[in-house]
């Protein structure tokens, strides 16, 4: 067995919420060939496969993750710019990709500057903020499956709000080509600084979280609904509705995934009862209780 394959790896070390049980097997590939090797290893052993990036949108349950977890993070990070096209691998930090674009005077990714996590996770989630999202910028996506490598070209990466084709296909995304437009570097940086500042003012960036817990329901703002329901600061065990932004659940210390799940359900029940609005989690819940 490859010595980079670890057993009983504590997932709380690689998730921003800092909760969750162990992965049965854990692997950090460096190349697409490594990924293919890992997929074939899992196939031969009949193991389920879970792909993660930087774990900033994940709630890993306390029983951990059976099978193989493949993490595409800093060991799988490279990027290059060619004219208006920026090619970056899944392990690149989304915010670093945004800064690289700014450095080259390319506009379109300013909104991504404060979004944590990697490009792979961003492509899976069609991550975005402040009216921007990655979907419209995508020119091509490259991926690996157990059978080999493949790519989606122009228009084949389909997406909508916090949804992308990756979610339906189970491919391991390795890199994307983004199509950007030339801009004035000073304007780009000014916009990025402004958006960073807005985040710093409004979000609980000093506490472990997985960002917005719920997707935005049509016609409502999640944070406002939760605040109106008087749930600001509400706690179950170590899980708390952030006092800075009610759309976030934070780990105030010692939370378990079960605490967070219970709090999610409590919020959903309360909001349904009081406002008739159904809140859908944006955070991806994985593993076993």
Ligand X SMILES: Cc1cc2nc3c(=O)[nH]c(=O)nc-3n(C[C@H](O)[C@H](O)[C@H](O)COP(=O)(O)OP(=O)(O)OC[C@H]3O[C@@H](n4cnc5c(N)ncnc54)[C@H](O)[C@@H]3O)c2cc1C
Q: Annotated catalytic sites, by residue?
A: 162, 212, 282
Instruction: Give dist(CA 18, CA 195) in Å, integer.
Output: 26
Site for ligand X in 157-196 (CB under 6 A): 166, 172-173
Contact 158, 126 (CB under 8 A): no
Binding residue for ligand X, selected from 20, 22, 29, 117, defined by CB under 6 A: 117
**The one segment of 19-27, 49-57, 95-103, 251-259 that binds ligand X by CB under 6 A:** 49-57
Task: Match 């080999």 to its residue by tokens.
Answer: 148
Q: Which of 16, 240, 242, 251 is the binder for ligand X (CB under 6 A)?
A: 16
Asked if 89 touches ligand X (CB under 6 A), the answer is no
d(Cα 111, Cα 226) in Å, to the nearest integer? 25
Under the binding rule (CB under 6 A), the answer on residue 137 touching ligand X is no
Among positions 21, 29, 32, 118, the unique one binding ligand X when judged by CB under 6 A:
118
* Tokens found for residue 59: 């709630």
Closer residue to ligand X, CB minimum distance, 125 or 236: 125
The count of chain residues that interact with ligand X, using the rule CB under 6 A, is: 33
Task: Output 193 or 274, the one with its CB closest to ligand X.
Answer: 193
DSSP state string for 118-157 = BHHHHHHHT-EETTEESGGGEEEEEEEETTEEEEE-TT-S
Q: Which of 26, 41, 124, 157 binds ligand X (CB under 6 A)?
A: 124
Give, in order, the Cα–Cα distances in Å from 198 to each of 69, 114, 126, 218. Answer: 34, 10, 21, 23
Residue 265, H or E segment: helix 257-275
Contact set with ligand X (CB under 6 A): 16, 51-58, 72, 90, 94, 115-118, 120-122, 124-125, 127-129, 166, 172-173, 203, 205, 209-211, 284
């Amino acid at each position: 067995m490859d010595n980079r394959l670890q057993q009983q790896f504590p997932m709380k070390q690689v998730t921003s919420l800092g909760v969750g049980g162990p992965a049965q097997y854990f692997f950090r590939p460096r190349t697409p060939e490594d990924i293919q090797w890992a997929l074939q290893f899992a196939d031969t052993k009949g193991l389920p496969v879970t792909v993660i990036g930087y774990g900033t949108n994940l709630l890993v349950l306390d029983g951990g993750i059976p099978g193989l977890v493949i993490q595409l993070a800093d060991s799988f990070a490279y990027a290059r710019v060619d004219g208006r096209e920026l090619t970056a691998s899944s392990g690149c930090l989304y915010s670093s990709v945004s800064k690289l674009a700014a450095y080259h005077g390319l506009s379109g990714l300013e909104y991504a500057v404060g979004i944590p996590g990697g490009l792979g996770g961003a492509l899976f989630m069609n991550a975005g903020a402040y009216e921007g999202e990655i979907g419209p910028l995508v020119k091509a996506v490259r991926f690996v499956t157990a059978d080999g490598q493949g790519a989606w070209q122009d228009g084949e990466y389909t997406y909508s709000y916090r949804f992308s084709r990756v979610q339906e296909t189970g491919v391991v995304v390795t890199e994307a080509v983004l199509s950007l437009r030339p801009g004035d570097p000073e304007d780009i940086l000014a916009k990025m600084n402004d958006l960073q500042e807005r985040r710093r003012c409004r979000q609980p960036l000093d506490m472990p979280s997985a960002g917005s817990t719920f997707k935005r329901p049509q016609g409502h703002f999640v944070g406002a609904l939760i605040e109106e329901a008087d749930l600001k600061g509400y706690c179950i065990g170590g899980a708390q509705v952030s006092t800075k932004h009610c759309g976030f659940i934070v780990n105030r210390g010692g939370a378990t995934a079960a605490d967070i799940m219970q709090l999610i359900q409590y919020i959903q029940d309360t909001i349904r009862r009081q406002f008739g609005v159904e809140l859908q989690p944006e955070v991806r819940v994985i593993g076993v209780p």
